[in-house]
Amino acid sequence: MSTNSIKLLTGNSHPELANLVADRLGIELTKIMVLQYSNQETSVTIGESVRDEDVFILQSTKPDDINDGLMELLIMINACKTASARRITAVIPNFPYARQDKKDKSRAPITAKLMANMLQTAGCNHVITMDLHASQIQGFFNVPVDNLYAEPSMLKYIRENLDVSNCVIVSPDAGGAKRPRTNLGVSVSATAIADRLDLQFALIHKERARPNEVSRMVLVGNVKDKVAIIVDDMADTCGTLAKAAETVMQHGATEVNAIVVHGILSGKAIENLNGSCLKRIIVSNTVPLGDKIERCDKIKTIDISPTLAEACRRTHNGESVSFLFSHTVG
Amino acid sequence: MRGVQIFSGNSHPRLAETICERLGTVPAKANLGKFANGETSVNIDTSVRNQDVYIIQSGSEKINDSVMELLIMISACKGGSAKSITAVMPYFPYSRQSKKKSHRGAITARMLANLLTIAGVDHVITMDLHASQMQGFFGKPVDNLFAEPFIARWIRMNVAGWKDAVVVSKNAGGTKRVTSLADTLKLNFGIVTTDRRRPKVPVATMSDSTVFFDAVDDDSRIAKESQPFELHMHSAHRAPATPPIPEEREPTTPPSERYLLRPETPPAARRLSELEAACEYTDVRVRDVITGRLVQGQLVDDDYRINEESHSGGTTPGAGSSSHDNTDIITDAMANSIISNASSQPPDHALGGSFDAVESDDEASVCGGPTDERTITLVGEVRDRSVFLVDDMIDKSGSWIAAAETVVKRGGASKVYCIATHGLFGENSLDQMEACRSIDHIVVTNTFPISPSMLRRSKKLIVIDVSSLLAESIRRHHYGESVSALFHLND
């Protein structure tokens, strides 16, 4: 008799998040051994039966170690598939290569599409992710993709920790403002957050020469004597963020905070943050932060594991997930 | 060559340059790097529209990065409307994970094949796949080239007295590769195999049995039950050193060995062809089976003790009473069933690995816990000859060193050449092999990048260049000529 219960597996990328999700679900993580051979090839062994089970594989990606995390994920999916799992759901809080989603130059690879194909080839039946850089990536898949939002959790954090009446929401990217004003089918939208909190809104127009480089910034809107909250979907080297914060301060804001879903914080991010005029940067725990919180006291975290756990539970039980698009859980 | 673009990945640019040089071209321009967060970035800086694209990528120390880079390059060329895309992978990553080796293990090699196909590859050129069955994992054609002709040529040109040498397989799984090299060179061959199961020694004969029952006392029996394996090992080696008698071999002997060691059948029972074969080849039928003991991957003497507690009598080496020896032997017979059960389900491999996996790749096959003892068996005559120890790749050094020491110290070989196609040299295996006195030379090809510092440091390492083979296969593939001629080298 098969129980068809939830099995949650995780690789080496983000065990903390996996433990939080497992705790929320009230289950134990499935025993699994993920290690590397002496020649750095990844080896996966699943320690208990997954036959006819509903398997969820949670894998985030560590900056600098993305390809290893990715191969781990693919091999885990494949191992479950060959072990006759009933359904395999990849839970990828921060979708890797999401920014390479279009052929913006001649012969540029659409790596996000390649990722989608690879996951499906490995044997993935369902994908749960969070705040995709471009929602169109859902269309790269032929299997269902649930794109969750950190927005409800972010709203909750802002309401609880900041003086909402005196805030202004700033979008650091014209693209972030252009997104539709509904919170369904949207990535992190500064305007949506502004709407929900009933706040004023400003945007920064930037001219980008190359990725991770910003040449010039123009602020549109009024931030004078207000607490500015910069909203974005990911913070990488934070060069843009630091410049945006500076621009906002120059325009008379009293303090500036940033709230970001994926705190990748790679390269010189910590130096950039420590040197910037940002008061704090709030990131979710989709990406493992490691020792970065100790190295930069401006970093605050939001725990999004309840949302992921609830999505897993609802997916397993065949309930609607759309409630999570606008509500926090727990 | 017109209409061809050859790209080089970051893993082995020197090989790509040599190949391009042979084809009279230069690697096409591509900008490979990483984004700040560690994602791989690929820019193809030259037009590939309606061209035949070849992408050369081997493994490297960051093997997953190499794999991703290759996949993204293929995808980029596909998106850039290339006419055909050929992945040239001298070393195929994950080729050792080509079967479900334990419960719920992934067949990663097949998955990688699928990923390559999904990325848009039309053809794959590779060398010495760990298992040639892997060609079946692809929906696309695969050319599996062999380095063997190059190795054979190197041996002919560089080894003095190679005609008297013996080719020895490092493990039973790789015997095919070895026989093929031995055939090419017309040399004798042998096998070294490590066995976690019973050592191959004479079992007690009936004449001893009367003594056994008298000698059994309760104390020794209890001691034996607690440590049946070690005791058995000990007793086995203290048994009189008579040559092994094939008829008394345990049925657990692997089939390949059983074949080699089967008792002489009377001539009438043989097929005619077998008789002819026996006449044609002058090589002596394998009579000598040399066994040695491996403890933690080290070859030890027969009277080496794992720990004193395993000896109930507490006798000193060489001074053991005959009754003590006899009781050891009887427990050996009694513990037989326990041991064979244990070997089919090795307790230290509850997670990962099975006997089958250990047999074919050397992962962890010669290392283990402090009391982990194995038997290493050498089949074949190597005394005073040069030995070519052959396998398809050198990753960890343990099994190579164990095999070399067995061949030299037990077999009496004069020189040992460790020969493999892929020199992966994981961890610091090259240094360890360098330090092993039984190994004289290490011969690999340049399919896998070997860092210049390693090359400089090592005095034993010899690297054979196979770029001409890869270059020729690219040329032939492009012009639609047959590649099969490359499987044999006429010189």
Interface test with B, best of A59, A71, A270 (most B CBs within 10 A): A71
- Shortest distance between the Cα of A198 and any Cα of chain B, in A, equals 35
More confident site: A300 or B299:
A300
More confident site: A208 or A189:
A189
**B352 pLDDT more than 70:** no
Confidence band, pLDDT 50/70/90 cuts, at residue A1: very low
Would an 8 Å CB–CB cutoff place B39 in contact with chain A?
Answer: yes
pLDDT at A175: 56
Interchain proximity A106–B102, CB inside 8 Å? no
Q: Which of A30-44, A203-217, B149-163, B165-179 has the lowest mean pLDDT?
A: A203-217
What CA–CA distance (Å, rounded) separates A95 from A83?
25
Amino acid at B153: R
- Per-window interface: B 379-398 vs A, CB < 8 A: 395-396
**A280 pLDDT more than 50:** yes
How many inter-chain contacts (A to B, CB under 8 Å) are there? 165
Burial class (CB in 10 A: 0-12, 13-18, 19+), A106: middle
Kindly report, residue by residue over A147-176, the tens digit of the pLDDT.
Answer: 998 989 999 999 999 888 899 998 886 654
More confident site: B91 or B231:
B91
pLDDT at A312: 94
Element (H, E) at A200: strand A200-208
Amino acid at B200: K
Interface test with A, best of B12, B35, B448 (most A CBs within 10 A): B35
Interchain proximity A67–B67, CB inside 8 Å? yes
What CA–CA distance (Å, rounded) separates B119 from B438?
46
Interchain proximity A37–B426, CB inside 8 Å? yes
**B246 pLDDT more than 50:** no
- DSSP strand pairing (B386-390 vs A42-46): unpaired
Interchain proximity B38–A76, CB inside 8 Å? no
Give the Cα-Cα-Cα angle B299, B303, B309 (nearest 5 degrees): 105
Interchain proximity A42–B108, CB inside 8 Å? yes
Place of tokens 């999570």: A324
**B415 pLDDT more than 60:** yes
B409 phi, psi to nearest 5 deg: -75, -35
- Shortest distance between the Cα of A123 and any Cα of chain B, in A, equals 9
More confident site: A194 or B269:
A194
Strand ranges inside B45-182, DSSP E? 52-56, 84-89, 123-127, 142-145, 166-169
Give the Cα-Cα-Cα angle B305, B308, B309 (nearest 5 degrees): 130
What CA–CA distance (Å, rounded) separates A298 from B243?
77
pLDDT at B355: 33
pLDDT at A209: 61
- Per-window interface: A 106-125 vs B, CB < 8 A: 106-111, 113-114, 117-118, 121-122
**A143 pLDDT more than 70:** yes
Q: Which residue in A has a C-alpha nearest to residue B422's C-alpha?
A: A39
**B345 pLDDT more than 70:** no
What CA–CA distance (Å, rounded) separates B24 from B15?
14
What CA–CA distance (Å, rounded) separates A122 from A128?
16
- Shortest distance between the Cα of B10 and any Cα of chain A, in A, equals 15
Interchain proximity B79–A110, CB inside 8 Å? yes
pLDDT at A208: 61
Chain B residues with CB under 8 Å of A49 CB are 103-104
In B253-376, which residue ranges form alpha helices assigned H by DSSP?
A: 255-261, 272-280, 322-334, 336-344, 355-360
Interchain proximity A110–B102, CB inside 8 Å? no
pLDDT at A249: 92
Closest CA to B13 of B84, B68, B77, B90: B90
Q: For chain A, what is the mean pLDDT?
A: 87
**Would you state the structure tokens that stand for residue B112, as one six-digit string?**
């990688």
Q: Rg for chain A (alpha carbons), in Å?
A: 20
Kindly report, residue by residue over A242-261, the tens digit of the pLDDT.
Answer: 988 998 999 999 999 999 99
Chain B residues with CB under 8 Å of A83 CB are 103-104
Interchain proximity A45–B61, CB inside 8 Å? no
**B218 pLDDT more than 70:** no
pLDDT at B287: 53
DSSP label at residue B363: T
With contact defined as beta carbons under 8 Å apart, do A67 and B40 qualify?
A: yes
Chain A residues with CB under 8 Å of B41 CB are 100
Amino acid at A305: S
Of residues B76, B102, B115, nearest to A45 (C-beta): B102
Q: Roughly how many angstroms between the first and final C-alpha of chain A, as a whole number?
A: 33
What CA–CA distance (Å, rounded) separates B443 from B167?
14
- The whole-number average pLDDT for the span B392-403 is 89
**A179 pLDDT more than 70:** no
Interchain proximity B36–A118, CB inside 8 Å? no
pLDDT at B294: 74
Between the alpha carbon of residue B309 and those of residues B220, B230, B312, the distances in Å are 12, 10, 7
Would an 8 Å CB–CB cutoff place A82 in contact with chain B?
Answer: yes
What CA–CA distance (Å, rounded) separates B338 from A240?
68
Confidence band, pLDDT 50/70/90 cuts, at residue B296: low
Predicted TM-score (pTM) of the model is 0.73
- Shortest distance between the Cα of A223 and any Cα of chain B, in A, equals 31
With contact defined as beta carbons under 8 Å apart, do A246 and A275 qualify?
A: no
Q: Give B66's contacts (C-beta < 8 A, 6+ positions apart).
A: B9, B10, B11, B57, B58, B59, B60, B93
**B215 pLDDT more than 90:** no
Would an 8 Å CB–CB cutoff place A70 in contact with chain B?
Answer: yes
pLDDT at B114: 93
With contact defined as beta carbons under 8 Å apart, do B238 and B325 qualify?
A: yes
**Nearest 10 degrees: Cα torsion A100, A103, A106, A108:** 30
Closest CA to B19 of B489, B413, B472: B472
Kindly report, residue by residue over A80-125, the tens digit of the pLDDT.
Answer: 999 999 999 999 999 999 888 888 888 889 999 999 999 999 999 9
- Per-window interface: B 316-355 vs A, CB < 8 A: 351-352
- The whole-number average pLDDT for the span B112-131 is 92
With contact defined as beta carbons under 8 Å apart, do B391 and B361 qualify?
A: no
ipTM of the complex: 0.74
Of residues A70, A76, A236, nearest to B37 (C-beta): A236
Interface test with B, best of A44, A107, A268 (most B CBs within 10 A): A107
B413 phi, psi to nearest 5 deg: -70, 150
- Shortest distance between the Cα of B72 and any Cα of chain A, in A, equals 6
- Shortest distance between the Cα of A48 and any Cα of chain B, in A, equals 8
Place of tokens 């020895």: B168
- The whole-number average pLDDT for the span A204-214 is 66
Chain B residues with CB under 8 Å of A99 CB are 35, 39
Strand ranges inside A51-166, DSSP E? 54-58, 87-92, 126-130, 145-148
**A304 pLDDT more than 70:** yes
Confidence band, pLDDT 50/70/90 cuts, at residue B250: very low
What CA–CA distance (Å, rounded) separates A152 from B190?
69
Three-state helix/strand/coil letters over A36-103: ECCCCCEEEEECCCCCCCEEEEECCCCCCCHHHHHHHHHHHHHHHHHCCCCEEEEEECCCCCCCCCCC
Amino acid at A34: V
- The whole-number average pLDDT for the span B235-250 is 43
More confident site: A214 or A317:
A317
With contact defined as beta carbons under 8 Å apart, do A133 and A191 qualify?
A: no
* Maximum CA extent, chain A: 67
**B421 pLDDT more than 50:** yes
Kindly report, residue by residue over B60-83, the tens digit of the pLDDT.
Answer: 888 999 999 999 999 999 999 999
